[in-house]
Amino acid sequence: MSFDSSPDFAKSLDRQDKLASYRDRFFISDQDMIYMDGNSLGRLPLATSQRVNEIIMKEWGENLIRSWGQGWFEAPIRVGEKIAGLVGADHGQVAVSDSTTVNLYKLAMSALMLRPERKKIITDTLNFPSDLYMLQGCSHVLGGKHTIQMLEPADGLRVDTQTVLDAIDSNTALVALSHVVFKSGYMYDAKTITQYAHQKGALVLWDLSHSVGSVPVELDDWNADFATGCTYKYLNGGPGAPAFLYVRNGLQKEALSPIWGWFGERAPFSFELGYTPAQGIQRFLCGTPPVLSVLAMEPGVDLMLEAGIQPLRAKSIQLSNYLMALFDANLAPLGFSLGTPREVEQRGSHVSLRHPDAYQINRALIEEMNVIPDFREPDNIRLGLAPMYTSFHDVWEVVNRIERVITEKRYLRFPATRLSVT
Ligand SMILES: *Cc1c(COP(=O)(O)O)cnc(C)c1O
């Protein structure tokens, strides 16, 4: 990219952006506000606000319980089939269910039950804490006989593929990693790791929370065993929208959920006293799904399918390359360092900037500069570049406003003591 650091250059990139019109499909109440947190809570699609009204008034208000027979019961599988189109999964392998955290438990337990003789679980210290807690909880429930090996990033940002491969041995039951890690945005080579784990007889569970809707995911091609991920981040599904889970076809006969609920039973409405798991992915559901949330998430998924993952990824790369060029020119001289790998094939769609005063800078951005990034301990300001609605001019603005926070010493007005939600 030939590059200059003027705002006009950003505007020229926006004019060439084929996805630019998707921004108008979202509710944006304040055009001056720079939203850089689409990787934590995606924006509200206009179609969602219409659809939610219809679900509430018509499906719930008018049709009442009849709606269970008119689409509600099938919704988790039906919407799961749509998400399958975003994660490279053939049909019958994806369902919407529970939260990512609960799905991690179900899938990790399922994997450990399939490899009862093996006592090692591999993950990394870059993983999201809830993922690590779930693995610890699984080990606890199973009698504390598993070791959890947490690989450490040599450079603080990434764990090399070879380091992961070297850790996998004949005692390894499960490799559980985030495909794109939440702090540095590092992206693993999922296919190589999955293939090698299989050679060693281990199973692999991928957390796709920061991948789905931002980078191409090819679960079938990777031959992944299990996967789960959030829908309220890049998929714009709404706060607390339920997660999705994937279980590979070839495992579905033997794999069992550790939570035997009626929605995962063969015939929920036969009210049988003994549990017989449903065939296929349905057995990984447990109880009544949050119907309003499942259906409210669907328009966000539809938008992603319409825009297409390849164009979204292409734009996301362009956005992050542009941000890094501005970073080199304007922020590195102010004491920032990059908390994200520079190699395109090793990163997702957010970029972390590190600074010793990051917490105070982040507060000043929110409270004085009308920017919403997020802060991750100890010194990361995360900029989520959701390609659906983030413009190049947004990126220019965020860098410019960060510069002003430093040069005008605005961050010094804020204490370094943490607020409870960052
Ligand atoms: C956001 C995120 C979660 C959150 O899980 P919830 O159950 O939805 O709270 C889990 N794992 C990763 C990697 C995440 O990025």
Among 233, 347, 354, 363, the active-site one is 233
pLDDT digits (tens, 9 = 90+) for 81-117: 999 999 999 999 999 999 999 999 999 999 999 999 9
Helix, coil or strand: residue 245? strand
Q: Are residues 229 and 317 in the same domain?
A: no
Of 248, 281, 306, which residue sits at a domain end? 306
Q: How far is the CA of 101 from the centre of ligand 1 (A)?
A: 6
State which of 230, 293, 349 you would mutate to test the pocket of ligand 1, scoring each by most atoms of that ligand within 8 A of its C-beta.
230
pTM of the full predicted structure? Answer: 0.97
Does residue 135 sit within a domain?
Answer: yes
pLDDT over 70 (residue 403): yes
Written as one string, the DSSP assignment of 271-292 is --SS--BPSGGGGG--S---HH
128 is catalytic: yes
Q: How far is the CA of 39 from the centre of ligand 1 (A)?
A: 11
Q: Are residues 318 and 379 in the same domain?
A: yes
Among 120, 158, 363, 382, the active-site one is 382
Q: Are residues 348 and 292 in the same domain?
A: no
Q: How far is the CA of 28 from the centre of ligand 1 (A)?
A: 25
Q: How far is the CA of 229 from the centre of ligand 1 (A)?
A: 7
pLDDT over 70 (residue 1): no
pLDDT digits (tens, 9 = 90+) for 28-44: 999 999 999 999 999 99
Q: Rounded to whole angstroms, how far apart are CA atoms 245 and 40?
A: 19
The two three-digit tokens of residue 366, written as one number? 């929110």
Written as one string, the DSSP assignment of 18-40 is TTGGGGGGB--S-TT-EE-BTTT
Specify which residues 351 forms β-bridges with: 383
Q: Tell me the backbone φ, ψ of residue 150, rounded to 5 degrees.
A: -100, 105
Does residue 57 sit within a domain?
Answer: yes
Supply the pLDDT for residue 275: 97
42: left (phi over 0), alpha (psi -120 to 50) or beta: beta
By CB neighbour count within 10 A (0-12 exposed, 13-18 middle, 19+ buried), where does 249 fall? middle
Q: Are residues 191 and 280 in the same domain?
A: yes
Does residue 125 sit within a domain?
Answer: yes
Domain count, the chain: 2
Question: Of the candidates 352, 43, 344, which has an alpha carbon nearest to the alpha carbon of residue 215?
Answer: 344
Q: Are residues 278 and 320 in the same domain?
A: no
Does residue 100 sit within a domain?
Answer: yes
b or e along 344-358 (b: 16 or more beta carbons within 10 Å of the residue's beta carbon)? eebbbbbbbbbbebb
Helix, coil or strand: residue 8? helix
Helix, coil or strand: residue 148? strand
Provide mean pLDDT across the span 324-334: 97
pLDDT digits (tens, 9 = 90+) for 59-74: 999 999 999 999 999 9
Does residue 44 sit within a domain?
Answer: no
Q: Are residues 255 and 344 in the same domain?
A: no
Sign, CA dihedral 95-101-102-104, equals positive
Q: Are residues 301 and 313 in the same domain?
A: no
Instruction: Provide the pLDDT confidence category of residue 418 given band limits of 50, 70 and 90.
Output: confident
382 is catalytic: yes
Of 284, 306, 328, which residue sits at a domain end? 306
413 is catalytic: no
Written as one string, the DSSP assignment of 73-139 is TTHHHHHHHHHHTTTT--TTSEEE-S-HHHHHHHHHHHHHHH-TT--EEEEETTS-HHHHHHHHHHH
pLDDT over 60 (residue 360): yes
Nearest residue (by CA) to ligand 1, atom 2, is 209
Q: Are residues 27 and 72 in the same domain?
A: no
Ligand 1 atom closest to 102 (CA): 7
160: left (phi over 0), alpha (psi -120 to 50) or beta: beta
First-to-final CA distance of the chain? 34
Q: How far is the CA of 335 from the centre of ligand 1 (A)?
A: 31
207 is catalytic: yes
- Where does ligand 1 bind, in terms of residues with CB under 6 Å? 99-101, 128, 130-131, 178, 182, 207, 209-210, 230, 243
Does residue 377 sit within a domain?
Answer: yes
Domain that holds residue 16: 7-31+308-413
Q: Are residues 154 and 246 in the same domain?
A: yes
Q: What is the CATH number of the domain that holds 328?
A: 3.90.1150.10
Does residue 43 sit within a domain?
Answer: no
248 is catalytic: no
Residue 159 in contact with residue 126, Cβ under 8 Å? yes
Name all contacts of 415-420 with Cβ < 8 Å and 24+ positions apart: 415/360, 416/357, 416/359, 416/360, 418/359
Q: What is the CATH number of the domain that holds 113?
A: 3.40.640.10
Question: Of the candidates 132, 232, 236, 124, which has an alpha carbon nearest to the alpha carbon of residue 180?
Answer: 124
Strand-strand pairing, 94-96 and 34-35: unpaired
**In the predicted model, what is the mean pLDDT of the chain?**
97
Q: Are residues 276 and 312 in the same domain?
A: no
Does residue 418 sit within a domain?
Answer: no
Of 306, 327, 349, which residue sits at a domain end? 306
Q: Are residues 322 and 236 in the same domain?
A: no
Q: Are residues 147 and 191 in the same domain?
A: yes
pLDDT over 80 (residue 297): yes
